[in-house]
Structure 1
Amino acid sequence: MDASLVRRVLMPVTAAVCAAALFGGCTGSPKESASPQAAPKAANDLEADYEKVIRNVLPSVVQIQAGDSIGSGVVYDDKGHVVTNAHVVGAEKSFNVTVATGELELTAQLVSSYPEQDLAVIKLDKVPQGLKAAKLGDSSKVEVGQIVLAMGSPLGLSSSVTQGIVSAVGRTVREGEDGSGTGATISNMVQTSAAINPGNSGGALVNLDSELIGIPTLEAVDPGLGGVATGIGFAIPVSTVKSIADQMIKNGEVTHSGRAALGITARTVLDDSYQPSGVAVVSVAKGGPAQKAGIRPGDIITKLGSTEITSVMSLAEALASASPGEKVAVTYLRGGEEGRVEVTLGEA
């Protein structure tokens, strides 16, 4: 997806407003609402499910103030580690955190940030009594049509909840680099219709089993109108969250990204009409996948597998959908003649 279609959901702290979230049930037609017993049992059961999930998960969702901005986070363990988005923490090292178990702000320090996957971990300086870690779900069991709830601090309204469904899985989405975006290309994202607004970044996307299935990160933007495309949001899958967060907590950094790489530096090539038409190899890493396969500086990559490559960004998106160790055919131009080699992808 083009960068113009997505934007981060972090909000300026100056726009934050403190307010209590109000939750109400649904009523039927005027005739039905006259008698509570007339409400369908299924609707009552679903409402009860929502309320149970909110009780279970909301204590694990926190509000994070990073400099002049506000975002959200999810309690990852009982030691005070909180996972959030890299664009929420930005360049800050210290944070003020408000947890659902108390009104007083707590302080926290950065453990590590990984902008390439837009994830970060911070740690509370003092773990408050009753802090509850989120229950992690299974990304392989996330299916289109599942009901989900998004929890966070949209527009500074802490402990807010919205609902929707999983609209799609396996999306590869690129963050914008305008403003303070990381420009990350993230694969396997969960698309949801649950409302995701500024301040929701780093919060929780959960299923009706009270399990975290993703970290809300992006809202879609209408490229024509420039406004938010309602009902289209994206969350980083919990499998990625767990892999990256565990490394940060154990090592203080990400040592195995799980992201495929060719081992090149490159630039976009334009055709005679000034349209992107390929990726020119500027340099190859010594001993890297590209060099081992015989790719040289000056080659112009036009395909990765069956995917047309027209720009550096399209190459990044194609690689985001691949895995280290995977063998893929690379089509290129050298001196105007087409060549094709098989490359065993490395790790970024």
Structure 2
Amino acid sequence: MFKPDDVAVLHTDAALHPATFADSSKLRIGQMVLAIGNPLGLQSSATQGIVSATSRTVSEGDGVVLPSVIQTSAAINPGNSGGALIDLQGRVVGMPTLAAADPQLGGGAAPGIGFAISSNSVRNVVRQLVSTGQVTHSDRAAIGTDLRTDPEGGARVVAVSAGGPAARAGIRAGDLLVTIDAKATPTVDDVAGVLATMRPGRRVFVGLVTDSGARRSVTIELGEIKSS
């Protein structure tokens, strides 16, 4: 399973009629869509809404970020994840995956704000999983570190992948990562959010604070997230 994109492939011998996938790059704001799934165990339930935005970058927490997702007003409830977001022609334009949480509602779902992985992203991941069993080209940037949010602000480097981009740039465990390309990164989620807007191979400046309190900047050539 390619964990960062929430997409998996299942094999079945059942006689099924496959759905048609549409080109999600052609979606337009305001377009009507339906979210189909099994919320609360109710099979084949559907909710209606519009496409509110495309190419959103959304954090799931714990440093996991979904890039280029579709925002929709169609209600996404528990059990909709992994279902289908379809257009009025019955074509799959996305895969519902997440509902926005509202801190003012105690972390409950924010009405009218749901997210779906685009059909083009799903097809890209599925093709690779079917042909090779893993995602070899995610097109998602990585720096090759394990991070944790520091209470005083910044992402503390817990471990560095041997031979990875951070290691080649001289970043060490214990360093505090505070900026990427001049964008502040006070949390691990912020690091993931910034990287989600970038592509592998890009060279970026990373601002660090060492264990001794010294500030320094290094240049990293971004690597690529691999399947796990």
TM-score category of the 2 structures, normalised to the smaller one: 0.7 to 0.9
Structure 1 stretches of 5 or more lacking a match?
1-112, 178-182, 272-276
Contact 2:70 2:94 in 1 (8 A): yes
**Which of 247, 253, 265 is residue 134 of structure 2 equivalent to?**
253
Q: In the alignment, is residue 212 of structure 1 matched against residue 92 of structure 2?
A: yes
Taking the TM superposition and a 5 Å limit, the aligned residue runs for 1:27-66 are none
Q: In the alignment, is residue 236 of structure 1 matched against residue 117 of structure 2?
A: yes
Post-superposition shift, 1:148?
1.2
Aligned match of 2:74: 194
Aligned match of 1:118: 6
Taking the TM superposition and a 5 Å limit, the aligned residue runs for 1:162-173 are 162-173=47-58
Q: Distance in 1 between matches of 2:76 and 2:159?
A: 40
Aligned match of 2:146: 265
Contact 1:263 1:285 in 2 (8 A): yes
1:160-211 CA-partner distances (Å, limit 9, x unpaired): 222111111222223357xxxxx74211111100122121111111223433
Q: Which moved more, 1:190-199 or 1:253-262?
A: 253-262
Q: Distance in 1 between matches of 2:137 and 2:121?
A: 11
Whichever of the two has the greater Rg, that structure is: 1
Q: In the alignment, is residue 308 of structure 1 matched against residue 200 of structure 2?
A: no
Give the match's secondary structure for 2:201: coil
Structure 2 stretches of 5 or more lacking a match?
none
Contact 2:61 2:189 in 1 (8 A): no
Q: Distance in 1 between matches of 2:204 and 2:28?
A: 28
Post-superposition shift, 1:152?
1.7
Contact 1:118 1:184 in 2 (8 A): no
Q: In the alignment, is residue 336 of structure 1 matched against residue 216 of structure 2?
A: no
Contact 1:150 1:195 in 2 (8 A): yes
Aligned match of 2:46: 161
Aligned match of 1:20: none
Q: Distance in 1 between matches of 2:182 and 2:41?
A: 44
Question: Percent identical across equivalent pairs?
Answer: 48
1:33-82 CA-partner distances (Å, limit 9, x unpaired): xxxxxxxxxxxxxxxxxxxxxxxxxxxxxxxxxxxxxxxxxxxxxxxxxx
* Amino acid corresponding to residue 206 of structure 1 in structure 2: I
Q: Distance in 1 between matches of 2:26 and 2:88?
A: 13
* Amino acid corresponding to residue 145 of structure 2 in structure 1: I
Q: Distance in 1 between matches of 2:64 and 2:118?
A: 15
Give the match's secondary structure for 2:9: strand
Q: Distance in 2 between matches of 1:134 and 1:222?
A: 33
**Which of 281, 286, 290 is residue 157 of structure 2 equivalent to?**
281
Aligned match of 2:21: 136
Q: In the alignment, is residue 327 of structure 1 matched against residue 198 of structure 2?
A: no
Q: Distance in 1 between matches of 2:61 and 2:163?
A: 32
Contact 1:327 1:343 in 2 (8 A): yes
Q: Distance in 2 between matches of 1:168 and 1:114?
A: 25
Please state which structure has a larger fraction of its residues in helix. 1
Contact 1:214 1:237 in 2 (8 A): yes
Q: Which moved more, 1:332-341 or 1:229-238?
A: 332-341
Q: Distance in 2 between matches of 1:155 and 1:305?
A: 43
| More relative contact order, 1 or 2 (CA 8 Å, 6+ apart) | 2
* Amino acid corresponding to residue 144 of structure 2 in structure 1: G
So what's the TM-score if we normalise by structure 1?
A: 0.59
**Which of 15, 24, 31 is residue 146 of structure 1 equivalent to?**
31
Aligned match of 1:33: none
